[in-house]
Chains A and B, each alone.
Chain A
């Protein structure tokens, strides 16, 4: 007894048999679920240490951040401040080309080796970009993050962009443009940003069709060399140990030095713009927005609550959203029998955002439906928001935040973007607590401010009935 008591090694009952030897087994008649009377209970299985998020900075300015989730799969992402907003007017669309040519030949690897190595390790790699960031991301087994980060390092710091690779990837760019043209909602969102912000955040994520095939390697190189610098990069990982991540980052990125950075040009919301595109579609996609809020601003969560008060996409599969979505209800009622859908639209970027309504309706009664949806927004802005609605919206927002953060890919995106823009991370828990503190007055105030802002309108479809701004 004393021997096993002073030992720290976890013991299973049958191994500390000293006491058992002193009694015959026939006298032990316990069910299997209970421990034997004299044996010490085994020490509980050591729970893995849960760290919060850890952030460290290398000498050349690269920020490394990770969250240890003890999962067997690791997800790493390199977030570079080189989104479409940093394109200068002469090379619009270069970020689309960069997405297409990201994992091609570098100075020390051929394109074949890059892709085959990752396949060999059983991982996935992808490159994507938002308006603010260019993101290399990969998922792989925990033990293999070192070759993945090496690939990130060479792909971001020393790509070669052979002329034939760039022209081969024009086909991919064309394909992506064709796929984007298929969904009118993509066109509406791009036009919305163009009309609202014009130059900065207004740069489209997609290459202009006539520019496909005209980008030279020199243009790609100049964009990369000015924006892909360690001080503008954040290497984020979920499911990796921080020390290992820092080690890999130093090995792959340590040799690079950062040049002096151009400060980010602040974006400006111009209101009053309107872009109407006549297409042959019978369904009109229209969006009416005004200036919203940016990531990291104080009323970011209030705006999100307002979004859910007004109504978002359906929560019940195949169900109608008439009950829980105010604008949708107004739109459906105004449309009579024809199909219609309305939802609030909320887009936030690093220093600016858009908030408004997105309406899809039949071309014949577009003006009725759009006006009804806007009327609903107006009544909300004038104070017609009940406590119950706000409580419902807050719960939905909290659930949304929590559920999204369960997905490691979304979590990685969240961590990378936050650390890159703010230098720190607000966890889902903290965000949910902040949501709890929101009052209906705040929501009404935010609704008033947005409703009184200068509106921007975009419409796409057969527009004979769609009103002008």
Chain B
């Protein structure tokens, strides 16, 4: 009996976590959609601008294909913004397409910088 109730608790916990998660994710998605960058065909990480030297270094390390695609998306978005237009709805960035290409590299760059700073401080 103890075992069965534990399983029940586990199941309900999973379902409960999923429910809260789903609600939260839904709210997050709605907020993100409100910012509207996907209507210009941009990905979330295209918005990370390179005034930060870490971002500059991370962008330098990315393979050329990724950089070209990023630049194309940015250029297209600038063009649309100048015309005060949006992409047609079927071309908006779908969440499944919105890949994270910059953040892993950015984290590595930050890690390396921290290592240098720790060494220099010693």
Cβ A164 vs Cβ B116 within 8 A: no
B63 at the interface (CB under 8 A from A): yes
Enumerate chain B residues within 8 angstroms of A113, measured Cβ to Cβ: 115, 119
Which residues B67-115 have CB closer than 8 A to chain A?
112, 115
Enumerate chain B residues within 8 angstroms of A164, measured Cβ to Cβ: 60-61
Q: Which residue of A lies closest to B105 (CB)?
A: A164
Chain B interface, >50% SS class? helix
A116–B112 Cα distance when bound, in Å, is 13
Task: Give the number of chain A interface residues (Cβ < 8 Å).
Answer: 7
Enumerate chain A residues within 8 angstroms of B61, measured Cβ to Cβ: 162-164
A112–B109 Cα distance when bound, in Å, is 12
A115–B80 Cα distance when bound, in Å, is 48
Cβ A110 vs Cβ B115 within 8 A: yes
Which residues A142-176 have CB closer than 8 A to chain B?
162-164
Cβ A112 vs Cβ B112 within 8 A: yes
Q: Which residue of B lies closest to A117 (CB)?
A: B119
Q: Which residue of B lies closest to A163 (CB)?
A: B63
Cβ B60 vs Cβ A116 within 8 A: no
A13–B116 Cα distance when bound, in Å, is 57
A110–B60 Cα distance when bound, in Å, is 17
A110–B61 Cα distance when bound, in Å, is 15
Contact digits for B45-79, partner A, Cβ 8 Å, 1 yes 0 no = 00000000000000011010000000000000000
Least CB distance, A181 to chain B, in whole angstroms: 29
A220–B13 Cα distance when bound, in Å, is 50
Enumerate chain A residues within 8 angstroms of B115, measured Cβ to Cβ: 110, 112-113
Q: Which residue of A lies closest to B61 (CB)?
A: A164
A178–B88 Cα distance when bound, in Å, is 54
Cβ B63 vs Cβ A112 within 8 A: no
Enumerate chain A residues within 8 angstroms of B63, measured Cβ to Cβ: 163
Enumerate chain B residues within 8 angstroms of A112, measured Cβ to Cβ: 112, 115-116, 119
Q: Which residue of A lies closest to B120 (CB)?
A: A116
Which residues B17-45 have CB closer than 8 A to chain A?
none
Least CB distance, A111 to chain B, in whole angstroms: 9
Cβ A110 vs Cβ B119 within 8 A: no
A163–B63 Cα distance when bound, in Å, is 8
Interchain Cβ contacts under 8 Å between A and B, 14 examples: A110-B112, A110-B115, A112-B112, A112-B115, A112-B116, A112-B119, A113-B115, A113-B119, A116-B119, A162-B61, A163-B61, A163-B63, A164-B60, A164-B61
Seed contacts A110-B112, A163-B63; 5 additional CB < 8 Å A-B pairs: A110-B115, A112-B112, A112-B116, A113-B119, A162-B61
A residues contacting B by CB (< 8 A) are: 110, 112-113, 116, 162-164
